[in-house]
């Protein structure tokens, strides 16, 4: 569908495309704080040079991606952005 191609076309230009995704998502085993910090540092280094970072981040925010590093932000950082946006929008009418 044309709309989908436009909406997700940015993914073709992702720096992480075809790369090992293990830095972007938590492992299946329990991860300690230092391991998580190092994993996310590696993911964010790739995001920092990615041409479609803004598109990726907006996609993750819009779809409420619950896990992983998207657009240079971890799940906790994205939740903070969403809370900030909700605060800016004020109470629902
Ligand atoms: S911003 Fe990061 S997670 Fe998103 S497409 Fe680029 S490299 Fe991948």
Number of the ligand 1 atom closest to the C-alpha atom of 17: 8
Distance CA 35, CA 31 (A): 6
Q: List the chain pLDDT tens, one digit each, 93 residues.
A: 444 455 679 999 999 999 999 999 999 999 999 999 999 999 999 999 999 999 999 999 999 999 999 999 999 999 999 999 999 998 865
Predicted local confidence at residue 39, as pLDDT: 97
| CB distance 60 to ligand 1 below 6 Å | no
Which residues sit opposite 70 in a β-bridge? 73
CA-closest residue to ligand 1 atom 8: 16
Number of domains the chain contains? 1
The pLDDT score that the predictor gives to residue 8 is: 76
**What whole-number distance in Å separates Cα of residue 30 and Cα of residue 35?**
10
- pLDDT score, position 29: 95
Helix (H, G, I), strand (E, B) or coil at 70: strand
State the residue range of the domain holding 14: 2-89
What are the angstrom distances between the C-alpha of 45 and each of 7, 10, 27, 67, 90?
A: 25, 19, 19, 18, 34
């Amino acid at each position: 569908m044309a709309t989908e191609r436009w909406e997700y076309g940015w993914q073709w230009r992702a720096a992480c495309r075809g790369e090992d995704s293990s830095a972007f998502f938590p492992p299946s085993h329990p991860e300690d704080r230092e391991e998580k910090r190092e994993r996310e540092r590696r993911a964010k280094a790739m995001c920092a040079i990615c041409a479609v970072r803004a598109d990726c981040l907006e996609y993750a925010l819009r779809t409420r991606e619950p896990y992983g590093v998207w657009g240079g932000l971890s799940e906790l950082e994205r939740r903070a952005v969403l809370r900030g946006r909700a605060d800016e929008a004020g109470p629902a009418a």
